[in-house]
């Protein structure tokens, strides 16, 4: 009985500060209101299962892009305890190089003849371009300020972000660019005549499924769904890249060095770890993920506007995802990106709002997380406990 009483007392002592805080009360009331509105729309049939499944698929695809970018924020924060606000421009550099690469492949005819190899080359080129920008940022802007107060690198990162935007605008102009139309057919032997299009009054059917530009209507358990295969491609490619990163950090010597430097730089240096090289490796890994995300993002029809400020909103969303998951926490960044992508895809419709208010849903969610769980769902990864 005594143990039960002490347990109740501990729970009461934990809940009492929450009940006394007006922010917790307002946040809880708002959360209950959102749940009631969503449940009402579902029960009245204004929000259908077909809408949910289609938006879930798109949200996972978009969220996987956020996860790739968020991992760059969280890796750098885990090592240097700074927010690299120029990471959105690292993403933008990958998109630009991806565009010029795939445009060159299209002009030479290589894209039409060897589509898969052209896409693979575009992905690699975008990743390498992002790496070059990230390494230059670390060497020129961040390394000289490594021992400065935290506010100084933060301001420098914002300045570097604006500088890169204006530099790319000066080099490539202000006009937006788009990836060319890409058609990549797979499973030709299984789906004969699956893709048909009308050109100049003539209907042409192709074998296989176009996994890049294709749009298909399928019947699933009595529900008629309109599906874009590119959503699945982006999600599974991003998931494979994130799993490879997790394996690299946990199982390789370099990954162990990164974790050691994140824990204590001075002790790691005494143990023979090259701290500078490890920090550069961290920037390289984050840039590889951002470059891959940029190319995948640009491949999605409707997303492919490439211009100097294109990295701002994805960068802010990815930073939001990193905070929601737990800044400095690699699994947290992965989860936060997927969670945010699904929330901003499903949230407006299930709440009866316009899809143009998806940013309100995203940042409103961030506010709720900061109220109830300031360290994110997975918690921050810190070398020392907060006092």
Q: pLDDT at position 195, please? A: 64
Do 91 and 146 fall within a single domain?
yes
The total of structural domains in the chain comes to: 3
Specify whether 177 is located in the same domain as 153.
yes
Let me know whether 91 and 239 are in one domain: yes
Average pLDDT for 220-232: 84
Could you tell me if residue 68 is inside a domain?
yes
* pLDDT digits 0-9 by tens, 318-372: 999 998 888 888 888 899 999 999 999 988 888 887 878 888 888 888 888 887 7
> What pLDDT, on a 0 to 100 scale, did the predictor assign at position 385?
46
- 60, pLDDT greater than 60: yes
Sequence-ordered alpha helix ranges (H) in 21-85: 22-43, 49-80
Could you tell me which residues come within 8 angstroms of residue 234 by beta carbon, excluding any fewer than 6 positions away? 61, 64, 65, 296, 297, 299, 300
Q: Which of 58-67, 115-124, 174-183, 200-209 has the lowest mean pLDDT?
A: 200-209
In a domain, 219, yes or no: yes
Question: What pLDDT sits at residue 363?
Answer: 85
37 lies in the same domain as 97 = no
Quick: pLDDT tens for 131-140.
Answer: 999 999 999 9
Summarize pLDDT for 183-202 with one digit per residue, the tens: 888 877 666 656 666 655 56
Decide: residue 5, CB within 10 A, 0-12 exposed, 13-18 middle, 19+ buried: exposed
Together in a domain, 178 and 31:
no
Helix or strand (DSSP H, E) at 210: strand 209-210
Model pLDDT, residue 120 = 94
Check residue 61 and give its pLDDT: 92
Q: Are residues 142 and 206 in the same domain?
A: no
Res. 161: pLDDT tops 50 = yes
State residue 382's pLDDT score: 52
Cα separation of 100 and 207, whole Å?
30
246 and 354 fall within a common domain: yes
- Please name the residues in contact with 245: beta carbons below 8 A apart, sequence gap of 6 or more: 71, 285, 289, 330
pLDDT given at position 15: 53
Which has the higher per-residue pLDDT, 207 or 384? 207
Assigned domain for 19 exists: yes
> How many whole angstroms separate alpha carbon 88 and alpha carbon 285?
15
Share of residues in the chain with pLDDT > 90 (%): 37
Q: Count Cβ atoms below 10 Å from residue 131 Cβ, excluding itself.
A: 21
102 and 175 part of one domain: yes
Range 217-222 average pLDDT: 80
**Window from 103-117, 173-187, 226-240 with minimum mean pLDDT:** 173-187
My answer on whether 176 and 211 are in the same domain is no
In a domain, 377, yes or no: no
Work out the widest C-alpha separation in the chain, in whole angstroms. 84
Q: How far is CA 38 from CA 74, 262, 361, in A?
A: 32, 42, 13
In whole angstroms, what is the distance from residue 141 CA to residue 199 CA? 53
- Residue 260 burial (CB count, 10 A): 17
Ranges 11-15, 162-166, 175-179, 277-281: which has the least confidence: 11-15
Cα end-to-end span (Å), the chain:
33
State how far the Cα of 248 lies from the Cα of 253, in Å rounded to an integer: 9
Helices (H) and strands (E) in the chain, counts: 14, 6
The verdict on residue 77 lying in a domain is: yes
Is residue 379 assigned to a domain?
no
Residue 384: inside a domain: no
Determine the distance from the C-alpha atom of residue 15 to the mean position of all C-alpha atoms in its chain, rounded to a whole number: 34
Q: Stretch 222-239: mean pLDDT, rounded? A: 88
Asked if residue 385 belongs to a domain, the reply is no
Which residues constitute the domain of residue 199?
Answer: 185-223
The mean pLDDT value for 189-217 works out to: 69
Helices (H), 151-264: 151-172, 229-251, 253-263
Identify the band that residue 96 occupies on the pLDDT scale cut at 50, 70 and 90.
very high
* CATH number (domain holding residue 240): 1.10.3470
Q: What is the 3-state secondary structure (H, E, C) of 231-245?
A: HHHHHHHHHHHHHHH
Q: Which candidate, 265, 238, 269, 262, places its Cα nearest to that of 327?
A: 262
Q: Assess whether 165 and 245 both reside in one domain.
A: yes
Q: Are residues 167 and 233 in the same domain?
A: yes
Asked if 195 and 205 count as a contact pair (C-beta separation under 8 A), the reply is: yes
Checking DSSP bridges between strand 195-199 and strand 202-206, what pairing results, if any? antiparallel
What does the radius of gyration of the chain's CA atoms come to, in whole angstroms? Answer: 23
Listing DSSP states for 292-325 in one string gives: HHHHHHHHSTTT--B-TTTTHHHHHHHHHHHHHH
Average pLDDT of the residues of the chain: 84
Shared domain check, 293 and 339: yes
CA atoms of 43 and 37, how far apart (whole Å): 10
């Amino acid at each position: 009985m005594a143990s039960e009483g002490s347990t109740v007392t501990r729970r009461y002592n934990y809940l009492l500060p929450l009940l006394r805080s007006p922010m917790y009360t307002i946040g809880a009331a708002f959360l209950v209101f959102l749940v009631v509105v969503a449940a009402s729309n579902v029960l009245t049939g204004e929000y259908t299962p077909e809408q949910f499944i289609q938006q879930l698929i798109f949200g996972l695809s978009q969220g996987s892009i956020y996860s790739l970018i968020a991992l760059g924020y969280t890796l750098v924060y885990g090592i240097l305890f700074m927010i690299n606000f120029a990471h959105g421009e690292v993403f933008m550099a990958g998109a630009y190089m991806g565009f010029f690469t795939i445009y060159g492949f299209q002009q030479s005819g290589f894209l039409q003849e060897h589509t898969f190899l052209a896409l693979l080359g575009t992905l690699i080129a975008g990743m390498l371009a992002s790496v070059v920008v990230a390494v230059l940022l670390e060497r020129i802007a961040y390394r000289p300020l490594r021992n400065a107060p935290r506010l100084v690198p933060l301001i420098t990162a914002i300045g570097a972000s604006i500088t890169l935007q204006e530099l790319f605008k000066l080099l490539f102009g202000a006009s937006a660019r788009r990836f060319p139309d890409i058609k990549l057919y797979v499973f030709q032997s299984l789906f004969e005549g699956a893709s048909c299009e009308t050109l100049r009054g003539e209907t042409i059917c192709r074998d296989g499924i176009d996994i890049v530009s294709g749009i298909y209507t399928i019947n699933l358990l009595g529900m008629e769904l309109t599906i874009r295969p590119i959503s699945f491609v982006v999600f599974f490619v991003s998931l494979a890249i994130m799993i490879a990163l997790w394996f690299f950090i946990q199982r390789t010597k370099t990954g162990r060095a990164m974790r050691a430097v994140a824990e204590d730089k001075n002790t790691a240096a005494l143990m023979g770890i090259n701290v500078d090289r490890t920090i550069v490796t961290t920037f390289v890994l984050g840039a590889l993920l951002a470059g891959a995300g940029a190319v995948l993002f640009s491949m999605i029809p409707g997303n492919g506007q490439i211009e100097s400020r294109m990295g701002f909103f994805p960068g802010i969303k990815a930073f939001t995802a990193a905070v929601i998951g737990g800044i400095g926490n690699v699994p947290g960044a992965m989860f936060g990106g997927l969670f945010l992508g699904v929330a901003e895809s499903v949230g407006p419709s299930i709440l009866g709002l316009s899809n143009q208010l998806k940013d309100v849903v995203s940042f409103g969610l961030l506010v709720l997380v900061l109220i109830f769980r300031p360290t994110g769902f997975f918690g921050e990864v810190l070398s020392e406990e907060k006092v």
